[in-house]
Amino acid sequence: MMKKFLSILAVTALALAMCLTFAACGNEETADPGSEPGNGDFKVGAIYINSQNDTAGYTYQHHAGITAAMNELGLNPETDLIIVDEVTDSAAVSAACDTLVEAGCDIIFGISYNYIDAMEEAAAAYPAVIFSHATGNRANETNFNNYSGRIYQAHYLSGITAGLKSLELGNNNIGFVSAYGTANAETCSSINAFTLGAQSVNPQVQVHVNIIGAWENEELERSLTQDLITTYGCCVIAQDCDSAQPQLTAAENGVFGCGYNSDMTSAAPQAHLTAPIWNWGVYYQLAIESAMTDPANFIADVGNYYGGLADGFVGISPLSDNCVAATQGYIDAVSSLLISGEWDVFSGVKLTYNIAEDGTVTVNQNDAALIDAAGNPIIAAGGAPIADEAIAASMNYFVQGVIPHNN
């Protein structure tokens, strides 16, 4: 169940002299050069990879989460949120941190893994400001934490959706376009979980993977998707990258797809099945509330956040009409196991299913070793799930059934 948050005292916001939005990478301007962190109204800072005006994808989903959380807590995003967007390199991240601190931000969110070094340095330089870093693995004891989650659980569910579609189409080849492969634990675990989900309904599935080498490169996202379709005959295209280009390319080729970060059905209505999504607002409300009410104890109260399906922090978008009719039953049955904690993806237990005439799906849990792509056992049959820390920070191998082509 989604975390319940403590109610806060009503916040009376004074009108700011002007609306602050920084749209350029590393924008050096500040609207109130004399302000200092913590003075005046509470201000939230955010550093984005892409434009704050995106209508889908990774930055869009973070921006939606931050603004929704602020609205819930009585803050006005039009006046109390300061953004530096389109930030892609370390020098620009450092400049963005300086800009947001000078503008009086009390907490600063950075949404890219690649921001980690600059944000860690900024936290040391500005101890009165809280720095919160998405998808990273570093923290300090006073004003720097990280937040991420069990997105692999959502990828497993989308894998079920793709696997059922592959069965319907009579094609065991599924494609996956990813920002990174085994070099990044998050993308590696996402690819693995998606593959295990697809194999749970279609054991013959092979997942062909093309690696972009960056979180955002729309041209490569498109060309690598086309390669998976043309060269390997993939009938479903999944992704762990920022834009909807893989789904658009899938639609243009008459195949299907599972998007990422946000519901991409509107972008590719004839192709999209579902998408693993982050409900970032769950964390942003917790973090902003804590920073507003007890900033001195932010690290003690919030810590390094790692939410999952049970917290409402991750999930999948509504299934489209392109999905196999029985898909929702499978999703519901497996989701209940993940939410209850009775089962998790990376364990020595694999799932199989029975489907009744009325469409009811029941799940069987079978002891079976988790094997990597080289044939080495990772977890013995019946073994306990891999620890969160290993999934988030050190998973660097693919499971059986994953075929990387440029990892």
DSSP string, 335-373: HHHHHHTS--SSSSEEEEEEE-TTS-EEEEEEE--EEBT
Determine the Cα–Cα distance for residues 306 and 309; give it in Å rounded to an integer. 11
Average pLDDT over residues 273-289: 97
The single residue listed with the structure tokens 């996956």 is 176
Average pLDDT over residues 21-25: 34
* Whole-number average pLDDT of the chain: 90
User: In 364-406, which ranges are continuous DSSP H helix?
Assistant: 388-393
Confidence of residue 136 (pLDDT cuts 50, 70, 90): confident
Determine the Cα–Cα distance for residues 183 and 185; give it in Å rounded to an integer. 7
Nearest to 180 by CA among 242, 133, 134: 242
pLDDT at 22 over 80: no
| φ, ψ dihedrals at 297, nearest 5° | -110, 25
Q: 45: exposed, middle or buried (C-beta count within 10 Å: 0-12, 13-18, 19+)?
A: buried
Confidence of residue 18 (pLDDT cuts 50, 70, 90): very low
| Domain residue extents for the chain | 44-134+279-311, 153-275+319-404
* pLDDT reported for residue 90: 81
Over residues 354-364, the pLDDT tens digits come to 999 888 999 99
Nearest to 114 by CA among 240, 206, 208, 214: 214
pLDDT at 266 over 70: yes
Q: How far is CA 295 from the centre of its chain?
A: 26
Q: By 3-state DSSP, what share of the chain in percent is helix, strand and coil, each rounded to 5?
A: 35, 20, 45
Confidence of residue 258 (pLDDT cuts 50, 70, 90): very high
More confident position, 17 or 280: 280
Confidence of residue 21 (pLDDT cuts 50, 70, 90): very low
* pLDDT reported for residue 319: 98
* pLDDT reported for residue 407: 75
* Among the four given CATH numbers 3.40.50.11740, 3.40.50.2300, 3.30.420.40, 2.60.40.10, the one describing domain 153-275+319-404: 3.40.50.2300
Nearest to 94 by CA among 60, 117, 112: 117
* pLDDT reported for residue 196: 98
> Hey, what CATH topology would domain 44-134+279-311 get?
Rossmann fold (3.40.50)
* pLDDT reported for residue 13: 31
Tokens of 141: 């004891």
* pLDDT reported for residue 12: 30
Q: Do 44-134+279-311 and 153-275+319-404 agree at the fold level?
A: yes
pLDDT at 185 over 50: yes
pTM of the model: 0.86
More confident position, 14 or 190: 190
pLDDT at 10 over 70: no
150 to 86, 313, 389: CA distances (angstroms): 26, 8, 11
Contact 311, 340 (CB under 8 A): no
Q: 238: exposed, middle or buried (C-beta count within 10 Å: 0-12, 13-18, 19+)?
A: buried
Over residues 290-325, the pLDDT tens digits come to 999 999 999 999 999 999 999 999 999 999 999 999
pLDDT at 8 over 80: no
Instruction: Please state, as a whole number, how many other Cβ atoms lie within 10 Å of the Cβ of residue 403.
Output: 16
Determine the Cα–Cα distance for residues 303 and 319; give it in Å rounded to an integer. 34
Confidence of residue 89 (pLDDT cuts 50, 70, 90): confident
* pLDDT reported for residue 215: 84
* pLDDT reported for residue 242: 84
CB contact set of 43 (below 8 Å; sequence gap of 6+): 80, 81, 82, 103, 104, 105, 106
Contact 34, 249 (CB under 8 A): no
* pLDDT reported for residue 194: 98
* pLDDT reported for residue 56: 84
Lowest mean pLDDT, pick from 63-67, 214-218, 337-341: 214-218
Over residues 101-111, the pLDDT tens digits come to 999 999 999 99
Q: How far is CA 22 from the centre of its chain?
A: 24
pLDDT at 128 over 90: yes
* pLDDT reported for residue 357: 87
Q: 14: exposed, middle or buried (C-beta count within 10 Å: 0-12, 13-18, 19+)?
A: exposed
Over residues 193-246, the pLDDT tens digits come to 999 999 999 999 999 999 999 988 999 999 999 999 999 999 999 999 988 999
Average pLDDT over residues 5-34: 33
